[in-house]
Chains A and B, each alone.
Chain A
Amino acid sequence: MRALLLGRWLRAGPGPPRVPPRPESRHRGNGGNGGHGPLRQKVSVEVLDHLEHLALVDFRDSEGVERLHKAIQFADQLHEVNTDGVELMDSVLEDRCLYLREDDVTEGNCTKELLENAREKVEEYFVAPPGNIPLPKLEERETFLQGS
């Protein structure tokens, strides 16, 4: 094996390899096309529309939808793992008590600073367009999903 650049420590004679000479055998590979679960059925337009509503973000084009399909396929690998009887973990600090501060006011009075970054404001209010108006339905919206 061609010697790597410099470093006396690197030129020391070879011993038995201490690191695994071969990659994990059962590994299906990650990223790219390997490492995905079995090809599943596509996500329905209703769900895609629902997601756009929930996230208030659009798929924009078929690439966006493909991205989701690939993400789901990738995540399906999780089902290979046996998690019977395993408790879920939501924080690595679960063994410690959550810190609670005393209910004392230590800072505030920064209305001016907080309003600086808002584009639309009136006196000390943030101004929003009218609420309680649902997003137009799929048929009426300008969205990529319309064509599906």
Chain B
Amino acid sequence: AALNDGLRSQVSAALKEGRVAPTELCQRCLALIKSTKFLNAYITVAEETAMKQAEESEERYKRGQPLGILDGIPVAVKDNFNTAGIETTCASNMLKGYISPYNATVVQKLLDQGAVLLGKTNLDEFAMGSGSTDGVFGPVRNPWSYSKQYKEKSVPKSDSEESDWVITGGSSGGSAAAVSSFTCFAALGSDTGGSTRNPAAHCGVVGLKPTYGLISRHGLIPLVNSMDVPGILTRCVDDAAVLLGSLAGHDPKDSTTIQDDFEPFELPNLTDVSKLSIGIPKEYHAPGLSSEILALWSKAADLFKNAGAKVVEVSLPHTRYSIVCYHVLCTAEVASNMARFDGLEYGHRSDMKDSTESMYAATRREGFNDVVRGRILSGNYFLLKQNYEKYFVKAQKVRRLIANDFVKVFRSGVDILLTPTTLSDAAPYTEFIQEDNRTRSTQDDILTQAANMAGLPAINVPTALSERGLPVGLQFIGRSFQEKQLLTVAKWFEKQVQFPMIQLEEVKRHDSGVFQHQKSASFS
């Protein structure tokens, strides 16, 4: 059955009615994590604490006092969020063995609502990358590599299927793979240039990037302070709305969160789109966009038009500079943010003792991989006195132009923009690593990056399977803080396209009853 038809089973209801127990759900997820270990989606699995949380949840359900929809729901968190008592590594040698002394605000919020934290997911080192291939714990494999749909379409190679697997995209690849392979119902990622939406598109899940300032970044190890946001990965749009509802809102510990009151919302079932105006930004037909995705994008536009919506071509003229601008601002902020890693208070520390400077240099030499070091050095270059105006300030000015492009388009009456999320479906790992990280990032982030530049909310909705049997998604970009409208439209679209459920071959089905719950689209 398709993921999003009306008969999706509701895990929360099942928990409430006692048809399944939180401990059972947790056990099944943990078992599934074990049997899908080859995906390398998880860095740390917090088995004991998860079971304890599940037991506590079970008690609450027995007393008839669940904390809410998320009570007892297994979730996973990207390994760049601090989680008290659990190792937080950012997939880097620099933080191997670092046990966070506190919970990130978003993690705390999930725990306060009774969610069961299964573990920390894999990523590119310090969230730098678009493949989830550059972390010290190895690359993440896309669950769709092991799906019937992909296997049917791929030409078997002479050597084992080991070389055939495709990447998840990144940098929140572990989270996307975890949700896609049913090991959890929702996962947190982060999104700075597309890091939640890109893997969501490649793994066939919903990836939401909220408006900058809506969700707290306290406890999220920062990459680019002016663009980072926590991202939400789920199997359907309704679930994303539920997660958003529990995470959004002002946090006194994060002064970049807005102070407006946030009201969690339920998504209406939109039936009439005639009042909608959908914008198609022409610059998003970027060079290299696959003809498949182009066709899909076109069909989606037709879909809206045929349903009565107004579909107009719009222009965001500075789109192609977005990635260059990002490159400069990102490396500059990274140079600053990575300065905290000196081995003195936490993290890896070198044995070098000659002087503080040489100890710092040796620690950083040993702790960071090439990608991170490369960005730090580039960032420092752009921030040199002789380069500051030419590069850093220039990029900040171009940023305003990019943000203004969006303002103009939304002011002209367009409600939502519809664009592709990625240039193509997921590449095989062996092909992906032919180019270096920076090149790949500039290629892969091109369609997602501008939304981070302007701070706008954006969502990837899995749309269809490619000729290779792999997921392809489309992206909706909305106005600032208009997540309700964005998600409502996304939900309508999701219902129309009926994206198929992944048919995982390697995973044995144990108790089909409980598995049914796990495979359900939503918990809401």
Contacts and interface: CB of A to CB of B under 8 A. Distances in A.
Contact of A31 (B149, B256, B443): B443
Given A6-B465, A55-B335, A64-B373, A30 B286 contact: yes
Contacts of A27: 286-287, 320
B102 to A, nearest CB: 8
Contact of B465 (A4, A116, A131): A4
B377 A59 contact: yes
Interface stretch (B16-24, B103-111, B378-386): B378-386
Contacts of A130: 355-356
Nearest to B281: A20
Which secondary structure characterizes the binding site on chain B?
A: helix
B226 A117 contact: no
B113 interface: no
B438 interface: yes
Nearest to A18: B301
Interface residues of B, number: 110
Interface stretch (B188-196, B344-352, B482-490): B344-352
B294 interface: yes
B394 interface: yes
Given A19-B297, A31-B440, A75-B391, A5 B469 contact: yes
A39 to B, nearest CB: 17
Contacts of B226: 90-92
Which secondary structure characterizes the binding site on chain A?
A: loop
A118 interface: yes
Contacts of A98: 255
Contact of B393 (A4, A88, A96, A129): A88
A30 B356 CA distance: 41
Interface in A65-102: 67-68, 70-72, 74-75, 77-81, 83, 86-93, 96, 98-101
Nearest to B463: A7
Contacts of B435: 31-32
Interface in B274-310: 280, 282-283, 285-289, 291-292, 294-299, 301-303, 305-306
Nearest to A24: B283
Contacts of B68: none
B410 to A, nearest CB: 14
B454 interface: yes
B45 interface: no
Interface string A25-41: 00101111001000000
Contacts of B346: 117-118
A117 B438 contact: no
Interface stretch (B35-43, B197-205, B323-331): B323-331
Contacts, number: 276
A71 B298 contact: no
B496 interface: yes
Nearest to A29: B287
Contact of A32 (B356, B439, B446): B439
A45 interface: no
B99 interface: yes
B370 interface: yes
Contacts of A24: 282-283, 285-287, 320
Nearest to B348: A119
A88 B325 CA distance: 12
B397 A58 contact: no
Contacts of B469: 5
Contacts of A20: 280, 282, 285, 313
A116 B365 CA distance: 23
Given A130-B356, A135-B357, A4 B285 contact: no
A113 interface: yes
Nearest to B212: A92
Contacts of A35: 324, 442
A108 interface: no
Interface stretch (B157-165, B399-407, B510-518): B399-407
B523 interface: no
Given A27-B286, A31-B442, A81-B321, A9 B357 contact: no
Most chain A beta carbons < 10 A, residue from B325, B358, B467: B358
18 contacts: A4-B295, A12-B303, A18-B311, A19-B294, A20-B285, A21-B294, A23-B289, A43-B381, A51-B384, A56-B342, A57-B373, A60-B373, A64-B374, A79-B394, A89-B397, A117-B99, A135-B358, A136-B358
Given A6-B464, A63-B370, A77-B324, 7 more contacts: A18-B298, A31-B439, A81-B394, A83-B394, A83-B401, A99-B255, A119-B343
9 shortest interchain CB distances as A-B pairs: A92-B455, A133-B355, A88-B396, A18-B301, A117-B346, A31-B443, A89-B400, A83-B397, A113-B101
